[in-house]
Structure 1
């Protein structure tokens, strides 16, 4: 049986000098040119979610560019969940494998970052050393650039993109979609079997729980505190009452849940459900372009806003190719890579670069990115709701599974 991050942390007994000092080894490299020289010929094993073909294609494009320009080989190790990679690093540290680790770069945020940072499993700080970070990232532009689900980043991971929950509906069958958690339940009660959400702990399913909790909780400030410092039972009582009612009229009577956004999109296209979710603001445009959704599908957000966050790249403490990993992270922050990633038919991921720090030519390239037939503009995305403290994720998932897992 696969152990959870929490269980692995309990079993991890390491307070070694090596673990602590490994965080500062990158500072020993005096210049970026030295890093480029060291990176030549290195192979970087990049552990990243592999559940979407367009994202996998983008990573392969980046790998081709890195090979061509920097003589760095990027190998995409496709994950179902980032916690799998975190647990592998934990296992390697428990076994005393403090060098030549199997993972060189991880795509992560939230509780996975907190678990690695709290247990000295990260190499760094390194992000402020990256030339593209210094030139293009404005830490004051967005709190999530420096606070990852309530955990200070402290340069231990490099921002890669920004995401926000969006909903999708077919305007031909549902011209006026529900625009709040309360309206979603009202619609489900009037249209049994037409509403669902991904099954936690799939990240979008867990985010749906957080979105619902945010709208159902009177004092949302409590969500920014560690979960063990508040009355979890009292705060979440309205959430479970809501879900009890929703499940009784949900798709397949709440006995089965979609595996993720991709399955929800298929169900929407097959007209089995009326509303799908994604953390990709251009998901609908991408799928319409691929012929997987009707061109009458559109995206929308809730009236009071939806949850958004920044996702990052981090380097494990025991990677043997830290220079190569930094070169990859720096390339991913280049205008070239960020512009391509924001293209709605490539990925549609929102850029972490500050528009005001771009050259006029780079601004023009960003301005020329087609928005996509179903992609919301920054203005249309409206208010971005902050992520709760990362400790809420496992607490919500555990309670959800106790109540509803089959």
Structure 2
């Protein structure tokens, strides 16, 4: 018993040391970024003491934002950051894919990165990392403001394992939107089976987004794949090394048969739409009582009065997929100390809760008490927290999702 206790104590001490220990590069013996800060002596405990003086000496950072409508949110975040640390932020809204190519071109030319922090599209992480433009910093463990990141969100971007180089600033969820006026007493459909029963009993009262034209439809298809395929088939859904050819073979094989059978039954009874907004507009006009949605869009639309307050969102008990976009430091960044402070600030309680109240953007922080921290007006427009914790699933490998969506269109929408 004493030996067992001693081993357990040693194990706990090693785990604690690893968590609080010095920063180590991800996937390499050395850091791929140059800085006057000795990164290997940096720990969560000395993070601010080491970085703040260096950041003040740098004076400013340059921040790239790929979002199309985040400028108001980031203006407030930047105002708070500058007030707290006295470090200026030069802000630029950019096209995500073009910015990645700009950073690659700068690296190839031997020039510094034009940005010190980049909130980037998750679908471009693979290209950016393989081009060597993402600093190999373990952001998933080194930022003291975010010790409780969900593992998958913190290490994987759209099926690509980056190991923690991209911090999950923004998360979102596909969900089912429903109008409570049509479902008193919580009788809304709660599973794929109940959705099908509702659609058959109420033809054209459900809107499903085309999975190739809106993320809500793609997420709905991925969720169905996770719910309806066998364990053998599911073994490939999170295989991040799968080739496009193998993904196509998977989607065109028998694994998809039960999923397509479900949608063949559903198809005559639902309205397929050409985008996420189209589905929400059908709900706003009362033409649909149920729709495939993004949780944050329902939050935004109800907050702005574009949807009636009776429209709510929920996750199916079979599980529904979510995703998100992260922020990283380019390997050619020249204001490393300030950039790290900004990345840490983005993941803090204050900012993660702030952005959630503005646009419904979820957090990968697992210990944030949403129900306690936010008002009933905010939480009432979100998927209930217990559903988020119990039924949310990571999105499957992008190559399989794309191939499955292609087969879906050919088989279900085009009827071939």
TM-score (normalizing by structure 1): 0.74
- Counterparts of 1:202-351 in structure 2, within 5 Å, are 202-219=214-231, 220-226=234-240, 227-228=242-243, 231-232=249-250, 233-234=252-253, 235-243=255-263, 246-251=266-271, 254=272, 256-258=273-275, 260=276, 262-280=277-295, 283-309=297-323, 311-343=325-357, 346-351=358-363
Show the counterpart of 1:46: 65
Show the counterpart of 1:6: none
Whether 1:170 and 2:179 are equivalent positions in the alignment is: yes
Q: Is the contact between residue 199 and residue 269 of structure 2 (CA under 8 Å) also seen in structure 1?
A: yes
Separation in 2 of the partners of 1:247 and 1:36? Answer: 57
Match of 1:96 among 101, 105, 108: 108
Separation in 2 of the partners of 1:313 and 1:284? Answer: 24
The gaps in structure 1 that reach 5 residues or longer are 1-19, 357-362
Could you give the per-residue CA deviations for residues 145-177 of structure 1, whole angstroms, max 9, x where no partner exists? 234455433231122144332222111134433
Deviation, 1:297, is: 1.9
Deviation, 1:314, is: 1.9
The 10-residue stretch of structure 1 (163-172 or 110-119) with the greater mean CA deviation from structure 2: 110-119
Deviation, 1:310, is: 5.3
Q: Is the contact between residue 170 and residue 298 of structure 1 (CA under 8 Å) also seen in structure 2?
A: yes
Separation in 2 of the partners of 1:322 and 1:156? Answer: 14
The 10-residue stretch of structure 1 (198-207 or 163-172) with the greater mean CA deviation from structure 2: 198-207
Question: Structure 1 residues 279 and 29 mapped into 2: Cα distance closer, same or farther (>3 Å)?
Answer: farther
Q: Is the contact between residue 148 and residue 367 of structure 2 (CA under 8 Å) also seen in structure 1?
A: no
Deviation, 1:294, is: 1.7
Secondary structure at the aligned position of 1:25 is classed as coil
Question: Structure 1 residues 338 and 202 mapped into 2: Cα distance closer, same or farther (>3 Å)?
Answer: same
Deviation, 1:200, is: 2.1
Secondary structure at the aligned position of 1:125 is classed as coil
Secondary structure at the aligned position of 1:265 is classed as helix
Show the counterpart of 2:78: 63
Secondary structure at the aligned position of 1:307 is classed as strand
Whether 1:184 and 2:191 are equivalent positions in the alignment is: no
Separation in 2 of the partners of 1:88 and 1:106? Answer: 12
The 10-residue stretch of structure 1 (374-383 or 296-305) with the greater mean CA deviation from structure 2: 374-383
Deviation, 1:41, is: 3.1
Separation in 2 of the partners of 1:84 and 1:402? Answer: 31
Could you give the per-residue CA deviations for residues 240-286 of structure 1, whole angstroms, max 9, x where no partner exists? 454455444432xx4x512x2x4432321111322234443x65454
Match of 2:55 among 36, 41, 48: 36
Whether 1:377 and 2:384 are equivalent positions in the alignment is: yes
Secondary structure at the aligned position of 1:24 is classed as coil
Secondary structure at the aligned position of 2:129 is classed as helix
Q: Is the contact between residue 38 and residue 323 of structure 1 (CA under 8 Å) also seen in structure 2?
A: no
Question: Structure 1 residues 123 and 189 mapped into 2: Cα distance closer, same or farther (>3 Å)?
Answer: same
Separation in 2 of the partners of 1:279 and 1:178? Answer: 17
Whether 1:77 and 2:93 are equivalent positions in the alignment is: yes
CA RMSD across the alignment: 3.6
**Number of equivalences:** 360
Question: Structure 1 residues 386 and 159 mapped into 2: Cα distance closer, same or farther (>3 Å)?
Answer: closer
Secondary structure at the aligned position of 1:209 is classed as helix
Could you give the per-residue CA deviations for residues 50-109 of structure 1, whole angstroms, max 9, x where no partner exists? 25xxx5432221122234443322425165xx555445545x36x934434455544346
Deviation, 1:332, is: 0.6
The gaps in structure 2 that reach 5 residues or longer are 1-27, 39-49
